[in-house]
Structure 1
Amino acid sequence: MTLHTAEKILVMGPSWVGDMVLAQSLFKTLKQHKPDCTIDVAAPAWTLPLLERMPEVNEAIALPFKHGQLALKERIRFGRSLKDRHYTQSIMLTNSLKSAILPAASGISRRTGFLGEMRYGLLNDIRPLDKIQLPRTVDRFVALGVDAQSSMPDHIPNPSLVASRDNALASLEKLGIAAPQAPVLGLCPGAEYGEAKRWPLEHYAEVARTAHAHGWQIWLFGSDKDVPYTAEINRLSYQVCEDFGGKTKLGDAIDLMSLCDAIVSNDSGLMHVAAALDKKLIAIYGSSDPHHTPPMSSKAVIEYLGLECSPCFQRECPLGHLNCLKQIQPTTVINRLLPPRS
């Protein structure tokens, strides 16, 4: 009699917040096809608050390496330290050579991924990347969780983060803010990738002023890098917002966003968080492509002009006008949030 050993999978996770949210669709797919499998995810420490809110993940393993650092000896040593976990498969969601070193050093027998940066030998279950058949990032992630001879699932599950209301209320208390007594609009003006993904601040401010006049509370979300932008939106909207820019860690921001009734966001990590919280979402796209990284939610509305020069995927507008974002009018977004009364 042969004993069945449940599969134990190590996923090498992405570094970007948005990509890590999309990776949950892979985790859900794995659990649907292999309910007994164990999924551990190795990723940069700043992504761990996301993984903690994904029930499919057994353990999040923080990688100690600096971004872009080869650290060959350290990666080999770290990989060897995982040998006694006896993983049956690794799945690579990153395409770099250095990220494939750790699973190989861990002695994992099946190492799955796209070829990427010349990873022959490090990967032994190499999948062809057909960008036409797999147009979206989420499609590519899920494809790596399906056996090579199998077809893609008919339905890809949406990410769905499990937020903590108790932590959200505790975070508000720390900030000296009362629990909301009115509808809450969250604004996410951050754009880690570059200015060509940032909707103009004055447009955000007009939305904030109008929503506030209709009885909404306005919460501004952003990282330390976004503090000048959230502060400027608050100034332009006559200080009607609660500005959380730089005041919350990622986990707290996720939980606070779960209290929002609607969210307006650039194409950013927080946009994917909002979608995974199943919030009414207006997602604003400029230099990026909504067909490649759309918000995975039936409640999301995409605002994208699709100009002749779009998408350019540049960090700064190469033509200097940023029309792809400037020409998305605040009134368009306001009407999505506050449909005109008949």
Structure 2
Amino acid sequence: MTHLSEIQIDSQALRHNLTALTNLCQTGVKRAAVVKGNAYGHGLPEVVAALEGQVDYFQVDDVAELVELRKVSQTPALVLGFVPASRVEDAYRLGAELALYDAERLPAFQRASEQLGRPVLAHLKIDALLGRQGIVPGRLGEFIQELGKYPGVQLAGAYSHFANIEDTTDLTHAQEQAECFTRAMQELAGAGFTNLERHESATSGLMAYEPSRPGNTIVRIGVGLYGLYPSNALERSHRQLALKPVMKWVTHLAQVKTLPAKHPVGYGLTYITSQETRVGIVPQGYSDGYDRGLSNSGDVLVRGKRCPVIGRVAMNMFAVDLSAVPESQSEDEVVLLGTQGEDCITAEEIAQRIGTINYEVVTRISPLLPRVRQSTRVNEE
């Protein structure tokens, strides 16, 4: 046992997913692998190492993530989240291209250009009916005029983001967004900004929209890269992609014992044994990202069998009923997420139990848990 608990990352599954999603892209479209949020909880260094040389960009959210990225890769980087004015120069020194989403950011970008002695490249975020970060299209002309005062700031691209393309078969709003973004691109071209990189789609847009619409030059591949579908609807419609979950969350039983009938388990006395019960103590908890909402409702895998969580999930441990595996012993492997034997606990299953989405299930897993790259879990294709 190298680690008591670890997150196992299947490099082969990552590359399979990248290939499957690349096959949806228009010819020549560049791919940005999204590794923000510690690569959706999978471990930024491990994911980048597995994909180095196979993508055109890595996308992160902020300077802290960019610093971590540059420890393992010099592949072009997109930083599309918030960068404080005081850190803009740092980001450009690290060779990134930054999101530009209002005129207030321009002086900081210009100062970075002057300090570096070269133009700095930015991707202009258009708020195409999303209502988050970005230039509202009605103010784009005003922004273009202001941009002309800052010769050190060059637009490398422009982009937007879909608001509701994964959870619906009604693409009316997505189409309105696309038309809004197209008008903004036309206005930019009319002002002399031609040959810009153009991107709208993350995984959901790539599945639902991108194959039938030429014109974009970059896709931002996020959740699908990790073998997760953005929604049940897109999983049904794109099952042929056979995306493979990349993550397996493993720990080991810290203790196995038998409790008598009518014995409480855990804080709050929320579970009382109805009969003599073989119990295992699992040394993970909500500080590790195992949600407290799984108290008395989650399952883990031990020796290939499902064992229910009993009692409350605490900060560092919880209990499971081992009645299904009477032969279990202390230090047996426990799978919290992933496959063991013939069974599998998915991020979607956990998300359904606690009322969230698969993105959150994996992204919130503690970065303190070791990430370990493996290449042995992908079944024959």
TM-score normalised according to structure 2 size: 0.31
TM-score normalised according to structure 1 size: 0.34
Bigger share in strand: 2
Which has the bigger relative contact order, CA under 8 A and spacing at least 6? Answer: 2
Report which of the two structures shows the higher radius of gyration computed on alpha carbons: 2
